[in-house]
Structure 1
Amino acid sequence: MEFFHSGLILFITLFLSVYLPYLFRYKSKSSHANLPPGNMGLPFIGETLEFLNTGRKGHPEKFIFDRIAKYSSPIFKTSILAEPTVVFCGAASNKFLFSNENKLVEYWWPDSVYKIFPSCAQTSSKEESKKMRKMLPSFVKPEALIKYVGTMDSIAQRHFQACWEGQEQLKVLPLAKKYSFWVACRIFLSLEDPERVAKFADSFNVLLPGLVSLPVNFPGTPFNRAIKASNMIRKELIAIIEQRKVDLKEKETSPVDILSQMLQAPDENGEYMNKLDMADKILGLLIGGHDTASTVITFIVKYLSELPHIYNQVLEEQMEIAKSKKPGELLNWEDIQKMTYSWRVACEAMRLAPPFQGTFREAINDFVFHGFSIPKGWKLYWSVNSTHKDPECFPEPEKFDPSRFAGNGPASYTFVPFGGGPRMCPGKEYARLEILVFIHNVVKRFSWEKLVSDEKIIVDPMPVPAKGLPVRLIPHKHVD
């Protein structure tokens, strides 16, 4: 009987703390007239499980396109991650959201993110984000990145010598992650020692799936594993920050990287970012500079193995560059500008397998769009695949065709792997360099064959080949 009473008390507590607040919030927010069509799903859970499961089955666009067809509308309501949500689809929706950033909408992250990134829960987090975005362009704009092309090439060469050369078979995904994480650590933190980089790299593999998950903090859940991983990474980052502070005091010169810039850049009130907030910001940068690029690289390798005629054109372009280099000479900015076809290939890979499927916003005012009322406080989700996989935007959308990006390229607001508007990814040019340097180094050394012809793709939340894309390497006979 005592056990029954304890269970009843626990149930009532959970009901009062979780379900009841959600129910009142849902009722208050769903009472508006002329909401978009749609289904809010189950209480609290909403349609989250279906939203996530279509991705895990390799077809995240199915959640979107099934509802567009069902409701005959590119705008529909649902409930995702315990939040009443309106899904915005199509180029017109993209243009509207990007153009109204900080006017009608502002960025929003699920509760899971605020637990994994504690400083984001502070009331000043949005202001801190604006400061961070002002700081980043000066560091990641093309003229600032010119000096890092050779650094990336040097890391790529060491990576291929250590991890690829001499191997008959390997898995591409974990090695792409290893390369991109090494580059991010070097550029953002001046951290280059492979052993120290590896010390906390593994934690990143469990961090990302927990960012967009139900915030259920029980042992073994993606959310719980992500919190533990973020704590481990943050501890290492704080140690690096504290050591850098000492180095800056003792030395007249210091590494020119994001970390030093954060430590030496006060705000308009003369105050400096605290170390916890700084660690979270760097953690976010490492995620953006690591997982996204490694995903794109993996799919480029996949598509080049499937399409020999595409591979041959990339190889021709890259070998022309390789032949122009003196022995031991690293890539430079001019070389990157010659990789036009290779970048079209990368763009087409991002169209078919975008690293992020979409992101959230929050309505900061009531407004009307497409004839529907959008209530203040509702969450908005814009879908990359709603245009990337739309035959009206990209004819034969499942066909890999780099020529889509020749000339003027796709229509505005249809190709959006980096977002758009004020919140367009500031690391776009950084990603371009990192990806092109990898392409150069891999194709001039190898061709390859997939070992699993019909490998399943899982999106959780980024697309990855289920088995890590195992390939058989075929070294070229002569490599400069």
Structure 2
Amino acid sequence: MDLFLYLIYFILFSVSLIIIILASRHKSTSTNLPPGRKGWPVIGETLEFAFTAQRGKPEKFIKDRMNKYSPKVFRTSLMGENMAVMCGASGNKFLFSNEDKLVTSWWPNLIKKILYFPSLLNDASTRDLTKPHRALLQFLKPEALKQYVEIMDLMAHKHIDMDWAPNKEVKVYLLSKKYTFALSCRLFLKIEDSEWVARISNDFDHIMAGFISLPIDILGTTFNRAIKAKNILHKELIEIIKKRKKELTEKRDLAAQDLLSHMLLVPDENGKVLNEMEISTYILGVLLASHETTSTAITFVLKYLAEFPDVYDAVLKEQMEIAKSKGPEEFLNWNDIQNMKHSWNVARESMRLSPPGIGGFREALTDFTYEGFTVPKGWKTHWTVHSTHKNPEYFPDPEKFDPSRFEGEGPAPYTFVPFGGGPHMCHGKEYARLELLVFMYNVVSRFKLEKVVRNEKITYNPSPIPANGLPMRLQPHKM
């Protein structure tokens, strides 16, 4: 859609919101709010927040305000909400330690409208789908994860054979997305139909684009395409759910070890099994999270391995020792993963410098005081990786790629937070670790990597994305 029409829609939308907000909201009477500014009416500082990310410097928005207002906490307005941004290790600790006490999980309405069924979005009595369920926890517990390593290795091997080995040059970002999404469909839904996976992956791309779009549901807009993609995916998922229900009822699939079967068989904390709409919404969210963040993590690990030959050589040495211990047809196992200690340090340093996510949001359940400032009830709070990951207070020479930072006791608590923290820490952390290390093993043990574009531009959407897809030349190892 052309820029002129976007501007018209944006002006109409902004004027409407101004009228609504002026009529319904009252000015806070608090006189001790965190320092900062709200920015423009309605949109606040959202556009500046987005523009700095698009320019490849998402941390600039945070750092500029930490320097100008306070290194501990500042206020802003994002997505139409008054927001207190909690900074540094102390800010992370405060929010993570006060989950469901002073703050609770919050998702922007834009994201809810794209992901949720309207009936779930508007029903205040609906159970909070952002809270962990027993089914997901059982699916991701160590005993269950151990059996996924072989499947991950098998699928990674096939993926490398099909999409990497025949080519002298590949685009890492696109292929890593293809692999992670296919793996998620296999482990979460027990689906191996490559044509179905490829078809619905396009709808997921529309949804991700919708997360950073203007919320204008008019034909041709990015937001409208995201809503349409959501509806298509829910329809597809509900058909799969109904079919799986029938299989389980007929006792034809009781041994299934995928997430969907867990959700249909395992009740929640109240003894109830989720309904089809709830399961579809939950599965959609899990697929999106696993698809985007893990593929981004894989992409940037391989980027740094190509940029730093000494780091690559150390990882290769560790991975080849594991490869030499395996038989011709033997797959990786849980113990092999535990022996990839240096490789995991490299992955963590990659996520420190290029985190797959920007952080998370919370809502104040009551007025509370932090660092002498009052955060009113109903305000939103934001913890961000960008206040610690490149902060020299926690990571000396922060722009340097140095995996040794994670040796021994590693970074100080609450400074390295790519997976969040507290009760709402990403439950897929261990799953992501397995997926990332298995893929590193399959690539590094077979190829040396060379970047095609030396200084490729990185934008954020909201995860980091190489502008050219990270084209890489492959040099197979001599056997």
Question: TM-score surpassing 0.5?
Answer: yes
- Quote how far apart the aligned CAs of 1:142 are: 1.6
Q: Larger deviation: 455-464 or 112-121? A: 112-121
1:79 matched to 2:77? The reply is yes
Q: CA deviation at 1:239?
A: 1.4
Q: Which residue of 2 aligns with 1:5?
A: none
Q: Report how far residue 193 of structure 1 moved.
A: 2.2
Q: Give the secondary-structure state (helix, strand or coil) at the position aligned to 1:458.
A: strand
Displacement of 1:374 in angstroms is: 0.3
- The DSSP-based 3-state class of the residue aligned with 1:202 is helix
CA distance in structure 1 between the partners assigned to 2:45 and 2:99 by the alignment? 26
Write the deviation string for residues 187-241 of structure 1: whole angstroms up to 9, x where unpaired.
1111122222112112212212322444222334332222122222222111111
Residues 296-333 of structure 1, C-alpha deviations (whole Å, 9 max, x = no match): 00001100010000000000000000000001101000
Cα distance, 1:15 vs structure 2 = 7.5
8 Å CA contact 1:23, 1:43 repeated in 2: no
1:258, distance to aligned residue in structure 2 (A): 1.0
Q: Bigger CA drift: 203-212 or 405-414? A: 203-212
Deviations 1:118-161 (A, max 9, x none): 2452324454443x433322210222100110000000011011
How do residues 70-109 of structure 1 correspond to structure 2 at under 5 angstroms? Answer: 70-109=68-107
Q: Distance in 2 between matches of 1:354 and 1:304?
A: 16
Unaligned runs of 5+ in 1: 1-9
Quick one: distance in 1 between partners of 2:15 and 2:96? 38
> Are residues 28 and 183 of structure 1, via their aligned partners in 2, closer, same or farther at CA, if it must alter by over 3 Å?
same
- SS of aligned partner of 1:177: helix
Q: Given residue 107 of structure 1, which amino acid in structure 2 is its aligned partner? A: S
Deviation at 1:290, TM superposition (A): 1.1
- Residue 276 of structure 1 and its aligned partner are, at CA, apart by 1.4
Match of 1:185 in 2: 185
Deviates more, 1:372-381 or 1:73-82: 73-82
Does the CA-based 8 Å contact 1:106-1:363 persist in structure 2?
Answer: yes
Q: Which amino acid is 1:164 matched to?
A: W
Q: Work out the CA distance in 2 between the residues paired with 1:268 and 1:409.
A: 35
1:464 offset after TM fit, Å?
Answer: 0.8
1:454 Cα deviation after fit: 0.7
Instruction: Give the CA deviation at 1:269.
Output: 5.8
Structure 2 gap ranges (5+): 1-8
More deviation, 218-227/103-112: 218-227
Match of 1:141 in 2: 141
Alignment of 1:195-344 (within 5 A): 195-254=195-254, 255-267=256-268, 271-344=272-345
Q: 2:316 is paired with a residue of what secondary structure?
A: helix
Residue 3 of structure 1 is matched in structure 2 by none
Q: Kindly indicate whether residue 395 of structure 2 is the aligned counterpart of residue 397 of structure 1.
A: no
The residue identity in structure 2 corresponding to 1:343 is W
**Change in CA separation of 1:383 and 1:213 when aligned onto 2, cut-off 3 Å:** farther
Q: 1:332 to 1:468 in 2, by over 3 A?
A: same
Cα deviation for residue 277 of structure 1 reads 1.3
Shift of 1:94: 0.2
Number of aligned pairs?
Answer: 467
The residue matched to 1:388 in structure 2 has which SS? coil
Q: Secondary structure of the equivalent of 2:382?
A: strand
Aligned partner of residue 475 in structure 2, secondary structure: strand
Deviation at 1:398, TM superposition (A): 0.8
Q: Hey, what's the Cα distance between the residues in 1 that align with 2:328 and 2:10?
A: 71
1:434 maps to a residue whose letter is E
Check conservation: 1:81, 1:214, Cα contact below 8 A: no
Answer yes or no: is the 8 Å Cα contact 1:234–1:280 preserved in 2.
yes
- What is the distance in 1 between the residues matched to 2:21 and 2:394? 38
CA contact (8 A) 2:318 2:342 kept: yes
1:341-383 CA-to-partner distances (Å, cap 9, x unmatched) read 0000100111011111111111010010011010000111111
Superposition CA RMSD, Å = 1.9
2:18 aligned residue: 19
Give the counterpart letter for 1:102 in structure 2: D
Normalised to the residue count of structure 2, the TM-score between the two structures is 0.94
AA paired with 1:77? R
Report the residue type matching 1:231 in the other structure.
N
When residues 451 and 25 of structure 1 are mapped into structure 2, their CA distance, relative to the original with a 3 A threshold, is farther
How far apart, in 1, do the equivalents of 2:270 and 2:263 lie?
15
Matched residues in 1 for 2:214 and 2:409: separation?
A: 41
Q: Which amino acid aligns with 1:185?
A: C
Q: Aligned equivalents of 2:424 and 2:133: distance in 1? A: 8
Which residue number in structure 2 is paired with residue 7 of structure 1?
none
C-alpha change, 1:12 and 1:232, in structure 2 (3 Å) is closer
> 2:40 corresponds to which residue?
42
Counting only pairs closer than 5 Å after superposition, residues 459-478 of structure 1 correspond to structure 2 as: 459-478=460-479
Deviations 1:94-114 (A, max 9, x none): 000000000100111111112
Contact 1:360 1:380 in 2 (8 A): yes
When structure 1 is superposed on structure 2, of 234-243 and 451-460 the one drifting more is 234-243
Q: Is contact 2:133–2:269 with CA below 8 Å preserved after alignment?
A: no
Corresponding letter in the other structure for 1:471: M
Distance 1:423 1:24 in 2: 35
Give the Cα–Cα distance (whole angstroms) in 2 for the partners of residues 44 and 382 of structure 1: 22
Task: Report the equivalent of 1:354.
Answer: 355
The Cα shift of 1:55 comes to 0.6
CA contact (8 A) 1:184 1:286 kept: yes
Deviation at 1:74, TM superposition (A): 2.5
In the TM superposition, residue 243 of structure 1 has moved relative to its aligned partner by 1.2
Q: Which residue of 2 aligns with 1:380?
A: 381
Cα distance, 1:22 vs structure 2:
2.1
Q: Is the 8 A contact 1:133 1:426 kept in 2?
A: no
Kept after mapping to 1: 8 A contact 2:93/2:414: yes
Give the secondary-structure state (helix, strand or coil) at the position aligned to 1:40.
coil
Quick one: which amino acid aligns to residue 326 of structure 2? Answer: K
Q: In structure 2, how many angstroms separate the alpha carbons of the residues matched to 1:174 and 1:321?
A: 28
- In structure 2, the partner of 1:52 is 50
Letter in 1 for 2:38: M
2:42, 2:80 within 8 Å by CA — same for their partners in 1?
A: yes
- Asked if the contact 2:136/2:262 (under 8 Å) is kept, the reply is no
